[in-house]
Amino acid sequence: MSNKIRWGVLGGGGDSLIGVLHRVASSMFDAYQLTGAVFNPDFEANKGFAEEIGIPTNRIYPDFDTMVAEELKLPESERIQVFSILTPNFLHFPMAKKLLECGFHVICEKPMTMTYSEALELQQIHQKSKAIFALTHTYTGYPMVRQMKKMITEGVLGAVQKVDVQYYQGWINPIIHDKEQRKTTWRLDPSKSGISCCMGDIGVHGYQMLEYVTGMDVQSILADLNHLYDDNQMDIDGTVLLRLGKYTKGVLRASQIATAEENCLTVAVYGRKGALKWEQENPNYLHHLEDGQPIKTLKPGNAYNSNLSLDGTKLPPGHPEGIFDAMGNIYKGVAKAVRNQPHDPAEFPSMRDGVRGMHFIETCVASHKEGNVWKTL
């Protein structure tokens, strides 16, 4: 009998953006077996998709509540162990809450919840459970982001003086200028997305990335957000000033109307002794800058990288690692945690990242609405 982890999927159907990333990532290290799902709220489409990708339909359920109830009737040795929540944002909290209360491990897409208070409630439920909770801030799974984290936290840059994270996309530009489309896109609907579009969808990735690579907490922020039409006031662009310490400041810039930009996430950290710069669209290159020296470029798979970075590299140097590999590394870390095997906590983002992310999103909106004022996190 297979000793793979029995894995269930919520959302992520054939009509989704992110489903394929999770399915490929889960299969990458042969650790998970896709066992059951509610891929889609429409039962026929749900079963049809299961048939299309060749998985048995006996554990394809009409809805989430039925899925949990039926799985709980099964002996533990057959029951799904880990659920991934890949639905639109408004379903993350109710699904994660019930799953943790019933003892299932959870892999959840970001943003973790709709509100900060839901995030705090989920944290309490998690603390009472023995379940693993992982949040898929995918970009932390890249080997060179992991290397950046290790170099900064081991002091290679010295004291951090300046941080700069940018996440520019352009996909909302054609949508926002079309009255019908801006009414029907779920990310622009606060009842499905939460109070923020840009900061909730991508600003939060940049924020988590900064805290991840520096190992520092952002202490206060001042946000200036933007929308283009008064009939949809969800932010689709914004700039946030950051203070991470008395002498550590920086900026987070995020936009979904940066015309024709694709997925331009960049992070730069400048310290007393040097700087590190990384770009999501060229993820295999980590640039190390030092005063008076030529720029050094570090690449995945080389022995000079940290164990955390090397653990996320499958082939010898020169074989590019991409977004699927990054998500695969997060799934690999969760599999170790589920199997109670030793692992570095940096292998997957946690409940703490989710709680801090929700606090960041709400505080950005509050800072902006109150007239661009400093707010403590």
Ligand X SMILES: NC(=O)c1ccc[n+]([C@@H]2O[C@H](COP(=O)([O-])OP(=O)(O)OC[C@H]3O[C@@H](n4cnc5c(N)ncnc54)[C@H](O)[C@@H]3O)[C@@H](O)[C@H]2O)c1
Where does this chain bind ligand X (CB under 6 A)? 10-13, 15-18, 38-41, 64, 86-89, 91, 109-110, 136, 138, 201
Give whichever of 16 and 173 is closer to ligand X, judged by the CB atom. 16
- Summarize the chain as % helix, strand, coil (round to 5): 40, 20, 40
Provide DSSP, 261-280: --SEEEEEEEESS-EEEEET
Task: Tell me the closest approach of the beta carbon of residue 92 to ligand X, in angstroms.
Answer: 6
Nearest to residue 218, comparing CAs of 263, 160, 265, 271? 160
Give whichever of 89 and 256 is closer to ligand X, judged by the CB atom. 89
Residue with tokens 């639109």: 88
Task: Tell me the closest approach of the beta carbon of residue 40 to ligand X, in angstroms.
Answer: 4
> Cα separation of 375 and 241, whole Å?
10
Give whichever of 20 and 159 is closer to ligand X, judged by the CB atom. 20
Task: Tell me the closest approach of the beta carbon of residue 243 to ligand X, in angstroms.
Answer: 26
> Cα separation of 323 and 120, whole Å?
30
Give whichever of 46 and 306 is closer to ligand X, judged by the CB atom. 46
Buried b (16+ CB within 10 A) or exposed e, 189-203: beeebbbbbbbbbbb
Task: Tell me the closest approach of the beta carbon of residue 11 to ligand X, in angstroms.
Answer: 3
Give whichever of 138 and 284 is closer to ligand X, judged by the CB atom. 138
Give whichever of 11 and 250 is closer to ligand X, judged by the CB atom. 11
Angle at which helices 143-153 and 204-214 cross, to 10° = 50
Task: Tell me the closest approach of the beta carbon of residue 201 to ligand X, in angstroms.
Answer: 6
Give 294's DSSP letter. P
Q: For residue 185, give every residue at least 6 positions away whose Cβ sits within 8 Å of its Cβ, in sequence order, or none.
A: 172, 175
* Cis before 111 (ω within 30): yes
Q: Count the Cβ atoms, other than its own, within 10 Å of residue 242.
A: 23
Give 4's DSSP letter. P
Task: Tell me the closest approach of the beta carbon of residue 26 to ligand X, in angstroms.
Answer: 14
Give whichever of 15 and 30 is closer to ligand X, judged by the CB atom. 15
- Helices and strands counted in the chain (H then E): 14, 14
Give whichever of 201 and 311 is closer to ligand X, judged by the CB atom. 201
* Residues 218 and 210 sit within 8 Å (Cβ to Cβ): yes
Task: Tell me the closest approach of the beta carbon of residue 193 to ligand X, in angstroms.
Answer: 8
Longest dimension (CA), the chain: 66
Task: Tell me the closest approach of the beta carbon of residue 116 to ligand X, in angstroms.
Answer: 17
